[in-house]
A = this chain, B = another copy of it.
Amino acid sequence: MAEPKENALMEKIVSLCKRRGFIYQSSEIYGGINGFWDYGPLGAELKRNVKELWWNTMTRQRDDVVGLEATIIMSPAIWKASGHVDTFSDPMIDCKTCKGRFRADQTGEIPCPQKPSKMVSECHGEKTAARAFNLMFRTFVGPVQDESSVAYLRPETAQAIFAQFKNVLETSRQKVPFGIAQTGKAFRNEVTPRNYTFRSREFEQMELEFFIKPDEAVEAICGTVATAAEVSEAPPSAPQPSTLNPQPNWGWQLWHQYWVEERIAFYQGIGLPRTTLEEYWQKPEELAHYARACVDILFKFPFGTQELEGIAARSDFDLSQHARFSGKSMGVFDEELRTAWGKLPKEKQDDLWRRYYENRKKYLVKMGVAEELASKNATEDANGLAKGQYIPHVIEPSAGVDRLILALIANAYSEVTETDDKGKSETRVILKFHPRVAPVKAGVMPLLKNKPELVKKAHEVRDLLRPWMNVYYDDAGSIGRRYARQDEAGTPFCLTIDFDTLGEKPELKDTVTIRYRDDGKQERVAISELLNWLLPKVR
């Protein structure tokens, strides 16, 4: 995998992002801070658009997902339950000679600070054995700074959703299957942040936890758990990008497949062609112990094909952990299951009971619960089925905002070389963003800035569009220069107010020229029709 500095396209992207105000190094005037990046005016708009589209698609457009906005600092008990306190770490070695600290798996690539001609693994410094270095940022809450006041900056947004699952369930009138969505900052004290904004220490996530019935409950209610083939032919009840249409008889496999399709459709809908994306189905040996399946959606970045989002089927692991650590029930009551269970033949009941029992027991034993206690607890859990009780399973589509922004910029980046009348060539950049994510939707330009009638009309057009979309008013320089500036900012449409707008050609009165970013083509549209023309394209 090429590092950005060795990568010509990445160099151009980094330079453009700085020059046009998409991305700056954090704290640049103080020499920067490694692994932290700020979004400038265009970047902030691009990022807002992406987050808004995700939120709308994942929550507002659906009956079965609600939102949450939890804090970054939470009780440290949450990270104990999730396993982050104990296992979210990199192995590090210390060099007693140079006092440096290095990732144990990278000592062969890092030059010795004292003898840079040798790698750390080859130098003569006296090194400690590898020790776990936790990637969570620590801080202290309250006036006293000791172990009792330690807290962490969340390394992911997901855990807050599990911790608030019962509150949301009880206050939102949702029933399983349903989801809880959240966007927000997360923090990982990466030892080696790299690839520009791709792997940074402060980043933003967009995560959905979609809670579903365990397969045993689905089978009790519906008789069988559907396989893909059975349902793909069912007609969808509402328009949706996935070819799959959720059905009551879906188990975790179909829900997982559904969310993979939904998420790929989302990326396509904001302008990433299918050919730039790859699906990577993790192999059984790569899966986390609690995961039943995990699909990574990858994008072909200039520095390699890398993950945009992971979609994991996490079983009932997370809610079970929080139930055990908090002592609070994370179970739900399902009237349908209770009713259905009573009507099942004894044989079927026994079969479902046994399968549920075995899954529960397997989880408990894996978590270190003693065999006997695990059997007892799993028995209680399985007995719950008859009463309509279970712990929901979860499908987790988890996306990184910053890497998606970088993917959108990399995908949009293109250059055009033009030769003027005097034979002079110039290469300039066009950012071909999908209009939905473009930071500015329309540039509004009077042909000349010193003609008050043109300026007045251009202000009218600006004020007409502005309540509905982000527009940029520009009256400085030649119209060609202004178009080029908007091309570089990724603005899909430029509207020019000229003398025809004022009625020089009577048939063109009160029309504007719309000039397309990607091919430079132009057409005339009546001002009265502008909103109808633009809105469906930019939303």
Interface residues of A (CB under 8 A from B): 18-21, 24, 26-41, 43-45, 47-48, 52, 55, 60-61, 63, 66-75, 77-78, 92, 101, 133, 137-144, 151, 153, 160, 163-164, 166-168, 171-173, 180, 182, 185, 187, 189, 191, 201-202, 237-239, 322, 325-326, 328, 459, 463, 466-467, 470, 473-474, 476, 485, 539
Contact = CB atoms under 8 A, between A and B. Distances in A.
B69 A43 contact: yes
A41 B171 contact: yes
**Could you say how many copies of this chain the assembly holds?**
2
A367 B463 CA distance: 45
Contact of A75 (B32, B133, B172, B485): B32
Contacts of A40: 68, 164, 167-168, 171-172
A398 to B, nearest CB: 18
Contacts of A133: 143
A60 B28 contact: no
A29 B326 contact: yes
15 contacts: A21-B167, A27-B75, A28-B164, A30-B78, A31-B77, A33-B71, A33-B75, A35-B141, A40-B171, A44-B67, A52-B52, A60-B470, A72-B72, A173-B476, A238-B459
Contact of A73 (B31, B36, B322, B467): B36
Contacts of A153: 139, 153
Nearest to A31: B75
Nearest to A202: B71
B473 A63 contact: yes
Contacts of A137: 73, 139-141
A466 B59 CA distance: 11
**Which of A33, A69, A180, A470 is most buried by chain B, counting CB atoms within 10 A of its CB?**
A69
A459 B34 CA distance: 51
A47 B32 contact: no
A425 B294 CA distance: 55
A238 B45 CA distance: 24
Contact of A201 (B45, B141, B476): B141
A26 to B, nearest CB: 5
Contacts of A24: 164, 167
A66 B38 contact: no
**Which of A139, A182, A328 is most buried by chain B, counting CB atoms within 10 A of its CB?**
A139
A440 to B, nearest CB: 10
Contact of A74 (B36, B52, B463): B36
Contact of A163 (B29, B37, B470): B29
A71 B189 contact: no
Nearest to A462: B63
A19 B170 CA distance: 8
A121 to B, nearest CB: 17
Contacts of A68: 38-41, 44
